[in-house]
Each structure stands twice: as C-alpha cells, then as structure tokens.
Structure 1
Amino acid sequence: MSKIVLITGASKGFGKLWAEALLERGDKVAATARNVSSLQNLKDKYGDNILPLKLDVNNRSEVFEVTEQVEKHFGRIDVLINNAGFGLFGTTEETTEQQARDQMETNFFGSLWVAQAVLPVMRKQKSGHIIQISSFLGLTTLPLLGLYNASKFAIEGLIETIGSETAHLGIKTTLIEPNGFATDWAGASAVQTSSEIADYNPVRAAFAESGENPDTWGKPEATVEPVLNLIDNQNPPQRLLLGKIAYHAINEIYTKRLNDIQEWKEVSIAAHGH
C-alpha cells in the first residue's frame, strides 16, 4: 500500500531528492516549499501523485492551513518528513540578535509548528511516523555553528519528548542526524554573520581547512535507500545517523561522555543528599 508523505523544505537538497524517490516508487507526496515553481518538474512527471504547496514554516497559521489541505486532498498523512531549515555560519559572539532569532524561528519553531499541525491527524488515525531532520550537530558541536548547533540540540529534545508522549497512540518518531553532505546547505542555503572579529580568525581558518577534504562531505544520493528503508520499517529507531563522519564522531563522543559519567559517579550520587 502506498504511503502519504508530507515533506517540508522540498524545493532542493534532501527534501527534493527524497520526494522524487518516494514518487518514483509509487507513494503520494505533499511537498511544501516557499517557492513551489521549484517543484514543477516533479508535478510534470508524477502528476496527481504530488501535491505541491507553498509554505513558510515560520507562519504557524499557514502551517495548520496547509496540513488541513493535505489531509483533505489525500485523506490521511502517514509520514511527516520535517525537513525545512538552514545553516548559520559565524562565531557566537559575531551573531546578531536577529540572526539568532531567525535561526531558532525556522529550525526549531518551524519544526514545532509542523509537528503540532500533523499530530491531530495522526492521533485520529492512531498511526503515523514523524521523521525530523536534525543533524549530528544535535548531539555534538562544531565551532562557527553555535546557533545552528543550539537549534538542533533543541529539536532533539522536542522530538524525543513527542515520541514519549505519543507512542501509545501508534505514532512513532525518528531523528535523522546527517553529517555534512554535498547539498547546498553550506552554500546558497546558508547565512553568514556579517562582522568578523579578528581574534577568531584561527578558528575560521581551521574550520575552512577541515571542509576542504572532499571525503568530509557525503553523497546525497546514498541517503535515498536508508531513508526509504526507515519509512518502511515497522520498528524505526529513535535516532538514525547518516554518514560515516557522523557515526565515528558520535561514537567517540558518547564513549568519552560515558567514561566521564562513570569517573564522577560517586560525586554525582553523593550530590543527591540521601
């Protein structure tokens, strides 16, 4: 049986790639974007199996209206791929108030509004799968991405909580945590802080050098099969890392964190007081 999938941020990158893969295998896709003309080629090819819809996830009322449209059009929503978001590059000190608010508005609040809009549909169905695109930077950090890191740490806590609140209703949640991939996330889709403080130049230089190795960046096409498998799995994981950089980095970091926890075990327990 084909699935009904709602994908936000489907104009390019992972969103468009996965939308086409789902359509190609016969699923029906509601694809949202700020600019729906970017989805015309998929509409031309897949006809009524795709419903392109204009959506700015920062607009909460629009999110609810669009979600209602999707349910009326297809009759249900089996899977949400909550994908809309962008990267903000620059040190924390250099980030303006507006840039910080914009980053959280889209990456965190935008994802929250979409989840809140879809949950009533899935509760009524007593089924559904919320797939949230996070990042391995929701589990660790890189310099020059402080607000982006923070937005993904926040979304990790939100989606994990939704999973614990809705499991008894047949609703599943998964956080997808990619490392860097060769999409335009770090290019045209990214925002840069405007002012640069010279004291941070060594950090900038080291960051730039780390990105020069082509092996750092995963191939977007390689994610298609894992994501389709995730959607089809009856017992999906709470978290799915995508990419070898993410796997090795998080494996190393969590091993160190567990070691630190054990090393300070007695102090932690004594702090309870009884």
Structure 2
Amino acid sequence: MSRVWFITGASRGLGRAFTEAALHAGERVVAAARNVEPLADLAERCPDHLVRLPLDVSDRAAVYEGVERAAAAFGRLDIVVNNAGVMLLGMVEEATEEQIRAHFDVNLFGAIWVTQAVLPHLRAQGGGRILQVTTMGTGGGFPMVGMYAAGKSALDSVSEAVAMETEQFGVKLTIVQMGGYDTSLFTTGTTMTTPDPHYQRLRDELLQMWGDDAGPAPDTAVPVIMELIDLPDPPLRLIVGNASYDLVQTDLEDRTAKYRAWEHLSRKAPG
C-alpha cells in the first residue's frame, strides 16, 4: 500500500519538489501551505493521491485541526515533512520584536506544533517517519541570517530530544540539514530589516560574497530524500548537498581547533 505524506510548505521550493516526487512514486500526499493555489496543477493530475490543505503553521490550533484533517484524508500518516520556513534577513540589531517573533513562530514553533500534533497518530499506528528540514548552517550564527540560524538550531535541539523520546514507539526522526538550494526563500519567503547605516560596509561585503547564484534546483535534492525515507535505520542528522557537506566539516574542524586553543583555560574550572 502506498504511504501517506504530510508536507508543510508544500507550494514552493523544496516542499513542492518533495510533493511531486512522492506523487511520482505513487504515494499519497497531504500538501499543506498558506496558499495552496500553486498546487492546482498537481491536484488536477493526481486527484486521488493529493489533498491540498490551507494551513498557517504558526497557528497552533489550526495545526492541530489541520493534522486531524490530514490523518482523516487517507486514514493514516506515514511520513511527516516539517518543511515550512521563512527568512528574516538583516543584522540582529536591526530586527524588530515583531519581525523576530513572527520568524520564530514559523521556523521554530510551527515545526514544534506540527510535531506535537502528529505524534499521537504515529504512536497509535506503531511508527512513522518525521523529517525536520533545517539547514547546514545550524552549527553557528552568521551575519544577516542570525535569526534564521537560531530558529533552525533550536529546532535541531528539540528534534534530537523528540527522536530519543519517541524511538520507543517506532518513530524514526531525521534532521535534514539542507544546503543552499534555489527555493525562493530569499525572495518570496524573505522579510527584510530596515538597514542601519552602521552596518553598510559589512552588508556590502556579504552581498558581494553571496553573489547572484541561487544554488541548484530543489528537485536535485529529491533523490537523497527518497533514499532516506526508505532506509530501515535512518541517521539522526543528514547534510544534503555535496558542497555543503565540505563546508560543515570545515566549520567543525575550525570549531574544534578553537576549543583546543583555549583548553588550558577551560580545564581550570572543575565542572
């Protein structure tokens, strides 16, 4: 029997690519997004395998209601992909309280609400898969994307706890640390801070460093995800992206070297 996917942020970028891949594999999908109109073509092609679900993941009550509708649509949930996300782009000092809270409401709390809502269903049926889509940049902050990295880093930690808590129920969770893909996150999914002129030099340097390359198409990541969900013993964490893997390893080595450089001071405390 085909499996049932529940994918948030399914109308564009990686979510759309995962939705298309699951449908192509003969799976059934409940595709959730704030605006589900971009999924109309898929609904027309796969009317018996796709249910579009309008959903704002920042609304906890709506998430719980939406998950109940999703589980009822095909009778179960097998693969949950927490993919919905937004970007707050700007220096930390520039960000308003409203912007910060709205950002975390989607990227952190939205994923937590979905996780909480699906777990009773997965536990009752004896298992399932959860993919928590984060980023290869969760190892630390970086200028202009500090809030994004913070939300995804927090989700990493929460997800690791969930994985340990729910393994006993047959739930297998993987933190999918995506590299840079052309998902429109930096365009339609972005909120910009009001630039502070004190940071203009750094801002110019960063924009020049990033350039205009939006990264590879989202569907190039699909084969990895499709292989991942078929693994009987999947990893807790998986970096998705060849270049991203190298960057993460370099960052880890640099961080280890810096810890060791100050080991003599760290060891002066007994804790």
Q: TM-score range by the shorter chain?
A: over 0.9
- Equivalent residue number for residue 156 of structure 2: 156
Post-superposition offset of 1:269: 4.6
Q: Paired residues, what number?
A: 271
- Equivalent residue number for residue 223 of structure 1: 221
- Equivalent residue number for residue 94 of structure 1: 94
Q: Name the CA distance, whole Å, in 1 between partners of 2:70 and 2:159.
A: 22
Confirm whether residue 47 of structure 1 aligns to residue 47 of structure 2: yes
Post-superposition offset of 1:260: 3.4
> What is the TM-score normalised by the length of structure 2?
0.95
Q: Deviations over 1:229-269 (max 9, x none)?
A: 11111111111112233212210111122233444445445
Q: Deviations over 1:121-163 (max 9, x none)?
A: 1111121111011011222332101111111111111111100
Matching of residues 1-274 of structure 1 within 5 Å: 1-193=1-193, 195-212=194-211, 214=213, 217-265=215-263, 267-272=265-270
Worse-superposed segment, 103-112 or 138-147 = 138-147
Q: 3-state DSSP class of the match of 2:46?
A: helix
Q: 3-state DSSP class of the match of 1:31?
A: strand
RMSD: 1.5
Question: Percent identity over the alignment?
Answer: 35
Q: Give the conservation status (yes or no) of the 8 Å contact 1:104–1:151.
A: yes
Structure 1: tracts of 5 or more residues without a match: none
Q: Give the conservation status (yes or no) of the 8 Å contact 1:86–1:103.
A: yes
Structure 2: tracts of 5 or more residues without a match: none
Q: Deviations over 1:188-241 (max 9, x none)?
A: 211111x21112112111111122163x72332210100111111111111111
The list of structure 1 runs, each at least 4 consecutive aligned residues, that deviate by more than 6 angstroms after superposition, is: none
Q: Give the conservation status (yes or no) of the 8 Å contact 1:11–1:38.
A: yes
Q: Name the CA distance, whole Å, in 1 between partners of 2:25 and 2:157.
A: 33
Q: 3-state DSSP class of the match of 1:166?
A: helix
Worse-superposed segment, 178-187 or 5-14 = 178-187
Q: Give the conservation status (yes or no) of the 8 Å contact 1:140–1:250.
A: no
> What is the TM-score normalised by the length of structure 1?
0.94
Q: 3-state DSSP class of the match of 1:184?
A: coil
Q: Name the CA distance, whole Å, in 2 between partners of 1:248 and 1:201.
A: 30
